Structure 1
Amino acid sequence: MKMNLLVILGDKKNSDIDSIKCQAHHIIELFMELLPKYLDIDGSSRITINFKPKGARAQYSTILGTSNYFIEENKLNEYNCLDVEEKESFILKLIEESLIDIAKRNSRGQEIEDIIRKTYELVIKNNFSLKIKVSKISRKSSCGKFKANVYRYLNKELGEAWCVEIVSKDSKESYVEWITEKPSYLNRKDFFKKSIWQGEEFLIYNRLDKLVRTIKPKFKLEV
């Protein structure tokens, strides 16, 4: 089974550690965007890295397509001593080391380990930031003169934030409207599912076909 979801969980009893869920969100999503799709690390579709003391639990376990991995307790103490910039690099390194350890435990071989290391390097090369065009819901107006481009931003300032940029083919004017909060820490890839132009308005629907955003550019559209 191929991994399609990576999660980091903190400790609900410790607000400082629990905040790692927000601090780690864009890093996890960057890693998953740059990781080759459908990579099989241990046969699980979901891997959870638990950023909390494991107690009597095993460091690594897997059941019914879900894996749990607990980091060493000394890593918790190390994390709490870092500043914001250092924490970003620390979390990325934690992801790399955890996934490589899981791959080793499952005898996945050097190729899988090298892919994980390369993905780690790509996140750094991209300066922990991506602007991703979401082609499946970006759309031209019926007259062809205007294009609504939907973008997914991943970085430490925004977490994960989405916007729509509407561009006029003739005048080169553009209008940008954010369709999520800033910052935000939710994966919206399965939330925004469909879009259409209706006259001068660009409409976005969720996976249940419910209208969730209506965008009307401030410049005049000749439809």
Structure 2
Amino acid sequence: MKFHTLVLEGDKNTEKEQKTENLPRYSKSAYLHRKQIENRPPLFNRSFYLCRIIEEELRGIDIDGSRVITICAHQNRLHPGNEKYICDNYFHVSIYYLEPEEVYALNEAKQDMDSTVIGEILEHTLIDIAHRNNCSEDIIQKMESAFISIANHHFMREERIDKLSKRAKDTGLAAHIYRVLSAEVGEAWYVEIIDRKGTVICQENMGTNPDYVDRLNSRLYAKAAWRKNTFMILDRFGNEVFHITVPASLI
């Protein structure tokens, strides 16, 4: 089965304890680093955007037959024994436990290096899984190239979502929907309204930032529709979750 979803999870209780530890602060830089660790979001949120980027870059690749791969930055074993890597071929899910030094690196990463540290650990883990499953050199090279591309784009991705971009038949207006993935916003969305001449006549953010909800794969944003001069996004149940009305003066 093709790879689809990547999750990097920590232990919330351990992360909370680490934030409240009374560690010595011998310098201003050490103090600021500790405050940054205390105030930052959980590991799941910190890695959310990178997991979504990796999913897009590795789309269509079969790594180990699993649809969902969960990487655990803790030792709370869901299965008995000391297995580092567990692949369930029936449910098509995998679990991979990081080493203590990798967990430490994630916990102590400085803010300006957070994306690099998380990216390198995710790359090492997924390629290790690929080697454990005797993936071909072609697949390994594709994975390595994908991570090089992610780093070269500064761990950010912005793309138009064509399945949600739609043109109105009566007014000729077009709505282009964009998704942005980055450390600053997590997952952010915005819409551009284009007139018949191709000019952007209005733009609006969708939702709040930062946000850590996979609105595409969860189908919270499932389809789009125009009703006269109002463009709307519907969820998988047909409920309206966003709309923007274009003033008649701009049509």
TM-score of the aligned structures, taking structure 2 as reference length? 0.82
Aligned residue-pair number: 221
State the AA in 2 paired with 1:126. Answer: H
Asked if residue 26 in structure 1 is aligned to residue 53 in structure 2, the reply is no
Asked if residue 59 in structure 1 is aligned to residue 84 in structure 2, the reply is yes
Post-superposition offset of 1:49: 0.5
Secondary structure at the aligned position of 2:66 is classed as coil
User: Which residue of 133, 157, 179 maps to 1:152?
Assistant: 179
Aligned to 2:154: 127
CA distance in 1, matches of 2:235, 2:129: 35
CA contact (8 A) 2:192 2:200 kept: no
CA distance change for structure 1 residues 65 and 150 in 2, over 3 Å: closer, same or farther?
same
CA distance change for structure 1 residues 219 and 22 in 2, over 3 Å: closer, same or farther?
farther
Per-residue displacement from partner, 1:150-184 (whole Å, max 9, x unpaired)? 00011111110111111223483421112221111
CA distance change for structure 1 residues 173 and 162 in 2, over 3 Å: closer, same or farther?
closer
Q: What does 1:65-80 correspond to in 2, within 5 Å? A: 65-80=92-107
CA contact (8 A) 2:85 2:97 kept: yes
CA contact (8 A) 1:134 1:151 kept: yes
Aligned to 2:236: 207
Aligned to 2:246: 217
- Unpaired runs of at least 5, structure 2: 19-40
Which structure is larger by alpha-carbon Rg, 1 or 2?
2
CA distance in 1, matches of 2:86, 2:95: 5
**Higher helix fraction (1 or 2):** 2
Secondary structure at the aligned position of 1:220 is classed as helix
Moved beyond 6 Å, runs of 4+: none
Post-superposition offset of 1:185: 1.0
Q: What does 1:167-178 correspond to in 2, within 5 Å? A: 167-170=194-197, 172-178=199-205
CA distance in 1, matches of 2:151, 2:107: 22
TM-score of the aligned structures, taking structure 1 as reference length? 0.91
CA distance in 2, matches of 1:54, 1:102: 20
- Unpaired runs of at least 5, structure 1: none
CA contact (8 A) 1:175 1:218 kept: no
State the AA in 1 paired with 2:12. Answer: K
Post-superposition offset of 1:78: 2.1
User: Which residue of 209, 219, 222 maps to 1:193?
Assistant: 222
CA distance in 1, matches of 2:159, 2:106: 29
Asked if residue 12 in structure 1 is aligned to residue 39 in structure 2, the reply is no
CA distance in 2, matches of 1:68, 1:155: 25
The range that moved more, 17-26 or 6-15, is: 17-26
Aligned to 1:92: 119
Quote the sequence identity (%): 27
Post-superposition offset of 1:81: 2.4
Post-superposition offset of 1:52: 1.2
Q: How much is the aligned-residue C-alpha RMSD, in angstroms?
A: 1.9
